[in-house]
Structure 1
Amino acid sequence: MATTTSHATNTWIKTKLSMPSSKEFGVASNSISLLKNQHNRQSLNINSSLQAPPILHFPKQSSNYQTPKNNTISHPKQENNNSSSSSTSKWNLVQKAAAMALDAVESALTKHELEHPLPKTADPRVQISGNFAPVPENPVCQSLPVTGKIPKCVQGVYVRNGANPLFEPTAGHHFFDGDGMVHAVQFKNGSASYACRFTETERLVQEKALGRPVFPKAIGELHGHSGIARLMLFYARGLFGLVDHSKGTGVANAGLVYFNNRLLAMSEDDLPYHVKVTPTGDLKTEGRFDFDGQLKSTMIAHPKLDPVSGELFALSYDVIQKPYLKYFRFSKNGEKSNDVEIPVEDPTMMHDFAITENFVVIPDQQVVFKMSEMIRGGSPVVYDKNKVSRFGILDKYAKDGSDLKWVEVPDCFCFHLWNAWEEPETDEIVVIGSCMTPPDSIFNECDEGLKSVLSEIRLNLKTGKSTRKSIIENPDEQVNLEAGMVNRNKLGRKTEYAYLAIAEPWPKVSGFAKVNLFTGEIEKFIYGDNKYGGEPLFLPRDPNSKEEDDGYILAFVHDEKEWKSELQIVNAMSLKLEATVKLPSRVPYGFHGTF
């Protein structure tokens, strides 16, 4: 029997969420027609949305959101009103007057925005529907039911990050905009516990104190003239001391890395946050982490931990001012190197990069930031068709960027790079990544079907030329592969296997694929009927094992028919299900994890 030490705090998703039921959707073979909505918008037609499945599923609230069994529900609306009163009571008359005026302007702006259909990339009814919807925090639940047997080597804590908005969106919202929430399963001697907690970012803390969202949402709101207006409102609140943006505005919802005895939660718009796992398996935010004052800029969500040296390598990008891109590293003891400026002409979307034994591989691709597009009424995230994608190769211990070598890779956009290694006999760097088309489909509305092709990119350091090919050559076996990893003990070295999410039907994940990177052979593990998951995590059984695939795959899986979630543990060599841990509450689809 599972036992709960205390009861989950409920959120707006239980008491306030208002979404159209499935009856309010006219469903055709390739389109969805939204017939009515609470804001009296025009009808919204979604044609084969890249950001939503062909049929949106809005389960009933009773099955969608779990309620503590004794029905003791703490309503944040009341809590937030109290905390809001406490916060605003400290304001002087000028601040109170400014707050009222700015709130009135924001209300008028929101009303104006909702008079027009939102693009599906910013419509919360699309972005956070079904199991993409948020959940309340869940304190530790011990002794979870287990089917099968948890392998002996699975000892420790599996943690996964995700976007989980605390407050109901009032206007535009992209899935990536949600507040960070970490889900943790702790394994001890064949038993498992579960907890999930918000990462208490400075943004979240201030919004909780005010009782509502006030920080602008980077993707869902910051586009066009209304985006400029929201930025002006935000900084006006800062000038009057109503909010403090000097301590960061990030959501820490994307990546996780365990480095130098600290678990760090990250998104590329801020510094990392230190999250502590307690002995009981609960989670506690220790605070914004600047490596003892050494890190003074943002850090991307995918730093690379070298399995041999124990060093951490990272990038930082700026969308406003030069230098637009910087590279740095940390020793295994947490000592930061000097920043190395990477010369790029425009601010570039830099979600991921790669390392080899001796080099860092830095993509400079066609998705760029152009803030001037907001003045023209568009999105600042732009697909620049005139730009030629390229990869930069730099010595890992370079003190400056003078020896950086660029190799062009035309028409290539990899949101994620899974690994890279050196092949000295041919003077090549081999990069493994998923090439995505259209490149900006995640951020901007697009009718073209998304493809994510696992690819081998070879960068010849002698000739300066590149080649690119699909690793899975049989077109009948080609599937969208996104989110995953290689054996972390082989990162930066030649690897035979990659374990990647089968992102079909997009944006859901129906299973994972084990791909032989040398032969292109693909083996698939499907989670089950009406079951979908996310990123597969490969956990080595023994770091000294001679077999690269000797280990287990861990993945959160949600049953959309029964509306229950579980953690599946799969033998990576045989692809046989070893154990299933039944979870006490729903786990939304999310982003990246670690163990």
Structure 2
Amino acid sequence: MSSVLTSAFLPKYCLKNQSVVFTSSSSSSSSSSSSPLPIIPQFKASSVTTTEDEETHQSSLVIVPTVRTSKGVSIPPFLQRRRIPHKEKNSVQDFDLGEKRRPFLPTVFKLLDELVCNFVDPPLRISFDPKHVLAGNFAPVGELPPTPCPEIEGSLPAALNGSYIRNGPNPQFIQRGPYHLFDGDGMLHAITVAGGEATLCSRFVKTYKFDLERENGSPVILNVFSAFSGLLPSLARCAITFARVVTRQYDPRRGVGVANTSLALIGRKLYALGESDLPYAVKLTPAGDLVTLGREETFGEEFMSMTAHPKVDGDSGEAFAFRHSIRAPFLAYFRISADGVKSPEVPITSLNQAALVHDFAVSKNFAIFPDTQIVIKPTEVLRGRPPVVIDRAKVTKLGIIHRRAEDDGEMWWVDVPEFNMMHAVNAWEEDGGDAVVLVATNVLQVENVLERLDLVHSSMEMIKIDLKKKKIIFRRPISAANIDFGVINPAYVAKKNRYVYGGIGDPMPKIAGIVKLDLSRQDDSAGGDCTAAKRLFGPGCYGGEPFFVAKDAENPAAAEDDGYLVTYVHDENSGESKFIVMDAKSPNLEIVAAVKLPRRVPYGFHGIFVPAAAPPSPK
């Protein structure tokens, strides 16, 4: 095997490198023109630094002396065994490579990863090519400690005293192989406002995956959306992963997620979330810094995950959540008390296929789950395809269960054809509790959701369901625009709300502006566009999900839309990013303040506002 690696793969790899540096560990080597020394690649993975946005890929080649067997077979040093002193018997074997000593097994696995990327992977499709996916303001940035933002247009309202934090993908390593936007490491961008002044801080969520790969110097754990690019590379990556687990290079029981999707306040703690893992607790310091405290293992057991979209009832402080799985039961529902104590799970056995349940909704008495055409088929990996696939023949449904149910005996499903819900906005009950209304986004071109987000059109829809007759009363779009990332005044979760604020995709996932929808423009007999106000960011300027911050959150008599909408906006013409504040009540969503940020903030996903008066996370 070593001779194959040395004579076949490695010389080809050498030709692919533009920059080659040769060194020798011994000037008295016995090599000659008749017995050339093997060339072993020394990989230096590209990582994100704190001073540069553009990454460089550096590889060097090292000539090392060989050891020959009695039959004259050359053995390169990374395959040689060395005598370990007794005191080192329990340590990982090291070998000398240039000036640094690297652990034996991690370096071998890193070499195998590179061989798969360079010789086994098919040509990268544009949707999985890091050069395309991470272009422009999708490119990662390094961490930024709390940094003042002195340039402010207008004045920051006192209601914003606190921190707006937005999560999003930001890979610490630029992969040579396939990469998907959803796979990047979570990075939190927090702007803290105090006394009219602002401070920006950007920190990675220090997940188990992040720390493991930082220590390893390169990616280790498979990315579910991009690792499977053909039969041979899929099998190769699975084999390498299996070998890493068997040799204890990593422990999948400790989580495999990136916590890159959203944030939530649950049980008086702040969490960063991603649906492939359990939440990670994060501490927000008085100075506006962010510190990862660790994985919240009280919310699940080994190998478990949790939704990135829990719902928090503002009146009770309870959180409602779920997890989906590739094994039966494919869905489980649970509650978390205001004190952070998780209730026993309710397995949803009536869901008969693994599906990507990304979000759900709760009303005062019910929880509503989607069953979409985005399904999970692990056996697809054996065909060299991603395990997440689209089943266009499947009839989509909504499932309804009492939100305090102790088992799924009361769970029932209603057909809602071609309703591929991605994000739920809100739900509430009407008609004396005999009907429930759901507002959510429906992905119309669902076949593009995994590879061509720029071709996706999201329709914001309202669906009313008769709880007695278990059928749809009506279903209609509430806007013709391409809208996603819908939010409401957080005080109205599970209550009837009038206003929805959403991002206008142009195209997705870039957000060209914010729209305000007035649901009172709908009635039971006729539909109509509910657009009440709109703010476009301007040519070449794109933002993200808005977040509503009430002017006076303690005033129960305040109007529902009496507050501000906040988000980050990036100008692709100038390369500058800003934090903008819009008046949610104004007819044109007037910008009342804009903070020029000390460096750009990449596009991302979901955010949260943490008031200054909110209690900090415990140490």
Q: Same fold (TM over 0.5)?
A: yes
Shift, 1:445, TM fit: 5.2
| Correspondent of 1:489 among 488, 491, 514 | 491
Cα separation, 2, equivalents of 1:334 and 1:248: 20
When normalised by structure 2's length, the TM-score is 0.79
| Correspondent of 2:551 among 541, 554, 563 | 541
SS at match of 1:160: strand
1:558-594 per-position Cα deviation (integer Å, ceiling 9, x unaligned) = 0111101010000000011110011101100000000
Cα separation, 1, equivalents of 2:229 and 2:55: 35
- Assess, with a 3 A threshold, how the Cα gap between structure 1 residues 549 and 445 changes in structure 2: closer, same or farther: closer
**1:531 alignment partner in structure 2:** 541
Shift, 1:75, TM fit: 10
**Residues 274, 306 of structure 2: 8 Å contact kept:** yes
**2:518 alignment partner in structure 1:** 516
**1:464 alignment partner in structure 2:** 470
**Residues 436, 466 of structure 2: 8 Å contact kept:** yes
- Assess, with a 3 A threshold, how the Cα gap between structure 1 residues 39 and 451 changes in structure 2: closer, same or farther: farther
SS at match of 1:275: strand
Cα RMSD for the two superposed structures: 2.8
**1:559 alignment partner in structure 2:** 571
**1:583 alignment partner in structure 2:** 597
**Which stretches in structure 2 are left out of the alignment for 5+ residues?**
1-15, 19-47, 60-89, 96-101, 522-528, 610-619
SS at match of 2:425: strand
Letter in 1 for 2:116: L
**2:93 alignment partner in structure 1:** 92
**Residues 227, 386 of structure 2: 8 Å contact kept:** no
Cα separation, 2, equivalents of 1:154 and 1:484: 20
Letter in 2 for 1:197: R
Percent of aligned pairs sharing the same letter: 36
User: Once structures 1 and 2 are overlaid, which stretch shifts more, 222-231 or 348-357?
Assistant: 222-231
**1:59 alignment partner in structure 2:** none
Cα separation, 2, equivalents of 1:93 and 1:580: 53
**2:139 alignment partner in structure 1:** 133
User: Once structures 1 and 2 are overlaid, which stretch shifts more, 503-512 or 184-193?
Assistant: 503-512
| Correspondent of 2:509 among 507, 521, 526 | 507
Cα separation, 2, equivalents of 1:221 and 1:113: 12
Greater relative CO (CA pairs within 8 A, separation 6+): 1
Cα separation, 2, equivalents of 1:436 and 1:268: 19
Letter in 2 for 1:534: G
**2:288 alignment partner in structure 1:** 281
1:246-282 per-position Cα deviation (integer Å, ceiling 9, x unaligned) = 2111000001001222110010111100111111101
**Residues 305, 312 of structure 1: 8 Å contact kept:** yes
**Residues 235, 384 of structure 2: 8 Å contact kept:** no
1:414-450 per-position Cα deviation (integer Å, ceiling 9, x unaligned) = 110101111134822111011112224221459x942
- Assess, with a 3 A threshold, how the Cα gap between structure 1 residues 381 and 138 changes in structure 2: closer, same or farther: same
Structure with greater Cα Rg? 2
**Residues 224, 375 of structure 1: 8 Å contact kept:** no
**Residues 455, 508 of structure 2: 8 Å contact kept:** no
Shift, 1:312, TM fit: 0.5
Are 2:136 and 1:159 equivalent residues in the alignment?
no
User: Once structures 1 and 2 are overlaid, which stretch shifts more, 386-395 or 226-235?
Assistant: 226-235
- Assess, with a 3 A threshold, how the Cα gap between structure 1 residues 349 and 67 changes in structure 2: closer, same or farther: closer
**Residues 290, 296 of structure 1: 8 Å contact kept:** no
Q: After the TM superposition, which residues 100-499 of structure 1 pair with which residues of structure 2 at under 5 Å, given as runs?
A: 101-114=108-121, 116-225=122-231, 226-291=233-298, 297-319=304-326, 321-343=327-349, 344-425=351-432, 427-444=434-451, 449-466=455-472, 467-472=474-479, 478-499=480-501
1:441-468 per-position Cα deviation (integer Å, ceiling 9, x unaligned) = 221459x942111111122222222232
Shift, 1:309, TM fit: 1.0
Shift, 1:299, TM fit: 0.5
**2:612 alignment partner in structure 1:** none
**Residues 137, 196 of structure 1: 8 Å contact kept:** yes
When normalised by structure 1's length, the TM-score is 0.82
Shift, 1:110, TM fit: 1.2
SS at match of 2:408: coil
- Assess, with a 3 A threshold, how the Cα gap between structure 1 residues 385 and 104 changes in structure 2: closer, same or farther: same
Cα separation, 2, equivalents of 1:67 and 1:207: 17
SS at match of 1:510: strand
**Residues 407, 464 of structure 1: 8 Å contact kept:** yes
1:191-238 per-position Cα deviation (integer Å, ceiling 9, x unaligned) = 111100001000110111111111111111134422332122112112
**Residues 437, 464 of structure 2: 8 Å contact kept:** yes
- Assess, with a 3 A threshold, how the Cα gap between structure 1 residues 108 and 432 changes in structure 2: closer, same or farther: same
Letter in 1 for 2:539: D
Aligned residues: 515
Cα separation, 2, equivalents of 1:313 and 1:378: 33
1:336-391 per-position Cα deviation (integer Å, ceiling 9, x unaligned) = 11100112111110110000011111111111001122222322211112221111
- Assess, with a 3 A threshold, how the Cα gap between structure 1 residues 109 and 76 changes in structure 2: closer, same or farther: closer
Cα separation, 1, equivalents of 2:513 and 2:55: 36
Shift, 1:297, TM fit: 2.3
